[in-house]
Amino acid sequence: MDHAALKQTATAMVAPGQGILAMDESNPTCGKRLQAVGVENTEPNRVTYRDLLLGTPGLGDYISGAILYDETIRQKNPEGRAFTELMQEQGIIPGIKVDTGAKDLALHPGEKVTEGLDGLRERLEEYRGFGARFCKWRAVITIDMEKGLPGRGCIEANAHALARYAALCQEAGLVPIVEPEVLLDGGHSIEDSFAITRETQHTVFEQLYRQNIFFEGMVLKPSMVLSGKENAKQASVQEVAERTLECLQQTVPAAVPGIAFLSGGQSDEQATQHLNTMNRLAAELALPWRLTFSYARALQHQALTTWKGDPARVEAARKALLHRAKLNSLASKGEYRDEMERQEAA
């Protein structure tokens, strides 16, 4: 295992002012997004949409890497150029989702465990051949305080799978993005979210340590500490930032180079505001990690709804994508509010 190369890639993934574009939706999930704007879920349409995203001029100014799906990393754009080639020309690091999805956890009603470890070593070798330099594996944790969820067994099963995945990635010379997502669904309070997120992240890092993970060569992709979306009392942007940073301080080793948050069902604006406020607080606290973004919907939504399958709208859709990417780039430096205020003043 080349520690220096892993550290170099992980550090580049969380470079100042840059974040990660998550476009690793499975074909059915991608299809749902396309169908929501009246576009049929066919491979040519998926290629066209992916080309819209990855072919955006200037995207590399704000995006350090993009997480692809198995189909995507094998595809070429309508002009016959591999998507990974388009990315590399802009300095965007190719990444790949390698889990096979969250499945029902046996004897744990209402809980999931992510699968995909079988044959992973061989798949990682193949993905390296396609140009991948990092991977992603997502675990999902459901909060339901009335049902006593999550159970300890669910947290431990997912943490162990994340750690084994991360070890296989580093063995193959690929940086693992470790994603323990505590879901926003439910009526739980921000206090409940904090407690469950802290327990989850603590267990994940305990398992990573046991599997001999090189912390300098990984990236954490956590959820923010948020009120459940069905809770009548929604925490303020300031409280979300404070509780999220408090959780990180209690669970994440300083050796980890960066934390790329998922948006997890937040609106575009909320995800940006929360990230910006966290970075402003982090600067005051002199925290050891880069705090940035790894957003899917919060980056793609505006571009998708602008495009709606119309070839004449591709340029406008790319402009919308670039706009969201720029705003989140500013937020990753704690400069988003300043920029918004200058625009309003102008």
The residue from 7, 112, 221, 333 that is catalytic is 221
Average confidence (pLDDT) over 15-30:
96
Rounded Cα distance between 298 and 17, Å, is: 17
Rounded Cα distance between 124 and 75, Å, is: 17
Rounded Cα distance between 62 and 64, Å, is: 7
Mean of the per-residue pLDDT values for the chain?
96
Nearest to 89 by CA among 100, 81, 78: 81
pLDDT, tens digit (0-9, with 9 covering 90-100), for 227-251:
999 999 999 999 999 999 999 999 9
Is the separation of the CB atoms in 150 and 183 below 8 Å?
Answer: no
- 276, with CB counted inside 10 A (0-12, 13-18, 19+), is buried
What's residue 1's pLDDT?
A: 81
* 179 in catalytic set: yes
Residue 222's contacts (CB-CB under 8 Å, 6 or more residues apart) are: 179, 180, 181, 182, 197, 201, 248, 259, 261, 262
Q: Higher pLDDT residue, 187 or 345?
A: 187
| pLDDT surpassing 70 at residue 343 | no
**Phi and psi angles of residue 76, each rounded to the nearest 5 degrees, phi first:** -120, 155
Q: Higher pLDDT residue, 24 or 344?
A: 24
Q: Which two tokens stand for residue 143?
A: 């909060």
| pLDDT surpassing 80 at residue 338 | no
Share of the chain above pLDDT 70, in %: 97
- In order, the DSSP letters of 112-156 are EEE---TTHHHHHHHHHHTT--EEEEEEEE--BGGGTBSPHHHHH
The residue from 179, 181, 199, 333 that is catalytic is 179
What's residue 341's pLDDT?
A: 53
| pLDDT surpassing 80 at residue 220 | yes
Rounded Cα distance between 245 and 200, Å, is: 15
Average confidence (pLDDT) over 126-139:
98
Rounded Cα distance between 330 and 305, Å, is: 23
* CA angle, 193 then 194 then 196, to 5°: 65
Is the separation of the CB atoms in 192 and 151 below 8 Å?
Answer: no
Average confidence (pLDDT) over 273-284:
97
What's residue 337's pLDDT?
A: 78
Q: How distant is the alpha carbon of residue 44 from its chain centre? A: 26
| pLDDT surpassing 80 at residue 132 | yes
**CATH numbers and ranges of domains, the chain:** 3-345 (3.20.20.70)
Integer-rounded Cα radius of gyration of the chain:
19
Place of tokens 């995945």: 165
What's residue 340's pLDDT?
A: 63
Rounded Cα distance between 166 and 209, Å, is: 11
Confidence band, pLDDT 50/70/90 cuts, at residue 344: very low
Confidence band, pLDDT 50/70/90 cuts, at residue 342: low
| pLDDT surpassing 50 at residue 345 | no
Place of tokens 């080309």: 51
Average confidence (pLDDT) over 35-61:
97
* 126 in catalytic set: no
What's residue 87's pLDDT?
A: 97
pLDDT, tens digit (0-9, with 9 covering 90-100), for 160-204:
999 999 999 999 999 999 999 999 999 999 999 999 999 999 999
pTM of the model: 0.96
pLDDT, tens digit (0-9, with 9 covering 90-100), for 102-131:
999 999 999 999 999 999 999 999 999 999
